[in-house]
Amino acid sequence: MTHPPVGLRTGELAGRAGVNIQTLRYYERRGLLAEPRRSPGGHRLYPPDTVALLAAIKAAQRLGFTLDEVAALLPGSRRRRSGGLQDRAAGKLAEIDRRIADLTQVRETLARVIAAECDSLTDCTCPDCPLPESDLLQISPAGR
């Protein structure tokens, strides 16, 4: 008596994890997911705990970690580097704090532009135009 292969097929895993099939293949290419074993018929069979791994990857992304950063945090990763989750989370928190400070400065300047009733970015005629002396030129679009 033969037993059916244990594991989740690609579509089943994608459905349970709330991702699409292309995401699974992409994560395999990036080394976030191990290449799954194959059924006798050639179907990919993922271990059931892959659902939890995908949930952890998606949670880390929502916290602002890039896929490279996530890969470095995964056990058994080829890209694993020194510094665990605590160190990397502290670095990510500092990055978020910098971005919040930048956005706060942008917000305050925009509020001053509205209050001063500025009418042009380059040739404003309002007496108290906040744009020329703004520190916003020092803020890059993606933060610092």
Based on the number of CB atoms within 10 Å of its own CB, is 75 exposed (0-12), middle (13-18) or buried (19 or more)? exposed
Residue 102 has pLDDT above 70, yes or no: yes
In the numeric block, the tokens 């998606």 are attached to 58
Higher pLDDT, 143 or 123: 123
**pLDDT score recorded for residue 98:** 97
- What is the share, in percent, of the chain residues with pLDDT greater than 70? 82
The DSSP secondary structure of 59-124, one letter per residue, reads HHHHTT--HHHHHHHSTT-TT--SS-HHHHHHHHHHHHHHHHHHHHHHHHHHHHHHHHT---SSS-
| C-alpha to C-alpha distance for 85 and 24, rounded to whole angstroms | 23
**pLDDT score recorded for residue 103:** 96
The residue type found at 107 is R
Question: Residue 15's pLDDT band (boundaries 50, 70, 90)?
Answer: very high
| C-alpha to C-alpha distance for 97 and 140, rounded to whole angstroms | 15
Using one digit for the tens of pLDDT, what is the confidence trace for 66-96?
999 999 888 765 555 555 889 999 999 999 9
pTM (global) more than 0.85: no
Up-side HSE of residue 36: CA atoms within 13 Å toward CB? Answer: 22
- What is the share, in percent, of the chain residues with pLDDT greater than 90? 59
3-state secondary structure of 51: helix
Question: Residue 141's pLDDT band (boundaries 50, 70, 90)?
Answer: low
